[in-house]
Amino acid sequence: MAHVQKSEPRDPFRIRKSEPVVSILFTLIFLALLNASPDLGAVIRLQEAGQAAVPLFSDVFSAALPWINLSLLASILLDIVKLSAGSWTLPVVGAHLVLKLPGFLVAVWLFSNPAVFNVAFFEAVQAIFPVDSPMTPSEAAEMTRKIILGITIFGYIVDTLTAGSKAVRLLLAPSGSKPEA
C-alpha cells in the first residue's frame, strides 16, 4: 500500500517571494530601457539621406517621463514591502492601494491627452503596411489612446477590488489564521 503524504493547506495570505522579485527585476529593466531610449517604440525609415526614426509617442510622453519614473519607483517600493512582509496584512493591503495610485494617476493623465501619440508614427506604419481602412492615422492614434486608457482604468479597478477582497478576508479570518501585522 502506497503512503500518500498530505501537503499542508496553502496559506491564502502568503506572498510567494518570487512574485515581487520578478516584478522588481522587470520594472528595473523597463526603467533602464525607458530612460536610455524613450523613443524605443519607433519606426525606422530608410531615406536617401540615411535613416530616420519616427517615434510612437509625442513630446507629451517625454515631458511625463519623470512622473512615469516616480510611479515605477513606487511600484518597486511596493514590491519591497511585499517581499519583506511575506504575507498579506492590512498594512500591506493599505500600502498596495496607496503605492498603486501614482501609476494609475500618471497613466490616466498621460493617456487622457489626445496629443500623447505621434500621428507621424501611424502614418509611417500605414505607408509600410498599406491597408484599406476607413480610419485615418490620426483616428487610429485616437482609438489606440482610448483603448489604452480603458484598459488602464479597468485594470486599476480590478486590482483595487482584488486588494479590497484581501482586506475583507483578513478582517473576517479567524484570529488564529491571520498573519501578524
Type and span of the H or E element at 44: strand 42-47
- Whole-number pLDDT of residue 43: 80
CA angle 148, 105, 80 (to 5 degrees): 105
| Secondary structure class of 55 (helix, strand, coil) | strand
Which letter, b or e, does each residue of 111-122 get, where b requires 16 or more Cβ atoms within 10 Å of its Cβ? bebeebbbbbbb
Type and span of the H or E element at 158: helix 137-172
pTM for the whole structure: 0.82
- Whole-number pLDDT of residue 155: 97
User: Cα separation of 162 and 172, whole Å?
Assistant: 15
Place of cell 517625454: 62
Share of the chain above pLDDT 90, in %: 67
Q: Would you say 135 and 125 are in contact if contact means Cβ atoms under 8 Å apart? A: no
CA distances from 57 to 54, 67, 72, 116 (A): 9, 16, 18, 6
pLDDT in tens, 29-79: 999 999 988 677 788 776 667 677 888 999 999 899 999 999 999 999 999
Name the grid cell of 8: 499542508
The mean per-residue pLDDT over the stretch 96-115 comes to 96
